[in-house]
Structure 1
Amino acid sequence: MPIIRVSLLEGWTMEQKAQVTQEMTEALVSVLGEVSRPYIYVVVDEMQAGAVAFAGNVITDEMNREALATSARERQKAVNAQRAEDAYAALEGGDREVIAQYWTEDVSWSVPGNHPLAGVKKGVGELLAYRRARAELTGGTFRTERGRALVDGTTVVIRGREMAVRGPGRVLEVDTLHTLVWSEGRIASGSEAFAGAAAAANDSFWN
């Protein structure tokens, strides 16, 4: 039964500590295999400022607060699976101020295919208009089930399945791949991709 112990100075949120335990678990699973997951324990110990020192210097409350503030600023720029999911949620919410936290104003979004919605959408306005058009054409039935994001530096790849109904007998159910390219903590460009028969089925549905 593997046990991982992580010591943190106080001040971390429950969400942050949960993320630490998840990432530590995934790291060990990558070494021991998926069979080990149910038996991995992660223990987070919280320490008070003043009880820890490095190079003979005691960490003070002020130093800890400054470190937490710096960490918070860096997390806002971090490219990870949760931030990618939050970026999609921001689009779905439609609040431009929230969207601006995750998407650059001049973001470009490439939609492949040979149908009226295909092409490169330039800027948040066109991206939102494209998403509204999908919803309107399908009577609000369009939805995407996204899998776990794969992060490689500033690039995030997400496999998903798009589903919708458009009039009698017209049903969409295709696998898709989204690629997100980030810059300074926000998505600067993105693209959709369909392979094989999915590309033809997608074109047929939107034409």
Structure 2
Amino acid sequence: MQQANTNLEVVQRFFECYGAGDLETMKREILAEDVTWIIPGHHPLAGVKRGAEEIIDYFSTIAQANFKAEVISLSASEHHVVDVHRGWGEYGEYKIDMNWVLVYQIENGRIKQAQNFAADQHAADQFFWDVWGEKLKPVPARLK
């Protein structure tokens, strides 16, 4: 039970840093150096992010769309935390607002892995394409 409480504290601290935009503390104190973060979907930001630096870059990118998160529920066990939160963002005319579920694996007091699940993956894909798709190079240039 104590380990579950400690794991909850790690994720609560993650959300505090996220909400404050304190990505440096997140990188130094919350994320494992070799952390993986799984972003589902078929959009420009989808895929597995590896390492704290790449994940911080991802959070910096979505901050451009004023992404916010409000925790609805957290539950924990000896090695995992499940979070349900409302996540929303806005970039010009494009908006998204839905619930998300993340499953965190906690190891040695840090987030070792996170897997993200969107309530409406199609809406998430569309939002990320609308906001970041135009910033991608055309396919032939990306394949070089």
TM-score with structure 2 length normalisation? 0.78
Question: May I ask how many residue pairs the two structures share in their alignment?
Answer: 126
Matches within 5 A, 1:8-87: 79-87=6-14
Report the residue type matching 2:9 in the other structure.
Q
Q: Summarize deviations over 1:18-44 as a string: whole Å, max 9, x none.
A: xxxxxxxxxxxxxxxxxxxxxxxxxxx
Q: Residue in 2 aligned with 1:172?
A: 96
Q: Residue in 2 aligned with 1:202?
A: 124
Report the residue type matching 2:22 in the other structure.
G
User: RMSD of aligned C-alpha atoms?
Assistant: 2.1
Q: Residue in 1 aligned with 2:63?
A: 135
Q: 4+ runs of 1 displaced by more than 4 Å?
A: none
Q: Quote the sequence identity (%).
A: 25
**Of the candidates 95, 98, 109, which is equivalent to residue 37 of structure 2?**
109
**Of the candidates 1, 21, 24, which is equivalent to residue 95 of structure 1?**
24
Distance 2:15 2:51 in 1: 15
Distance 2:15 2:28 in 1: 12
Unaligned runs of 5+ in 1: 1-73
The structure carrying a bigger strand percent of its residues is 2
**Of the candidates 85, 93, 97, which is equivalent to residue 160 of structure 1?**
85
Q: What secondary structure, in the 3-state scheme, does the structure 1 residue paired with 2:54 have?
A: helix
Task: Determine whether 1:119 maps to 2:47.
Answer: yes
Contact 2:7 2:109 in 1 (8 A): no
Q: Residue in 1 aligned with 2:114?
A: 190
Distance 2:91 2:14 in 1: 27
Distance 1:95 1:160 in 2: 22
Q: Residue in 1 aligned with 2:140?
A: none
Distance 2:59 2:90 in 1: 15
After TM superposition, give the deviation of residue 78 of structure 1 in Å: 6.0
Q: Summarize deviations over 1:152-177 as a string: whole Å, max 9, x none.
A: 21100000111111222x21011100
Unaligned runs of 5+ in 2: 130-144
After TM superposition, give the deviation of residue 181 of structure 1 in Å: 0.1
Report the residue type matching 2:114 in the other structure.
G
TM-score with structure 1 length normalisation? 0.56
Distance 2:9 2:117 in 1: 22
Contact 1:115 1:203 in 2 (8 A): yes
Q: Summarize deviations over 1:121-170 as a string: whole Å, max 9, x none.
A: 0001100110111112x1xx2101112310021100000111111222x2
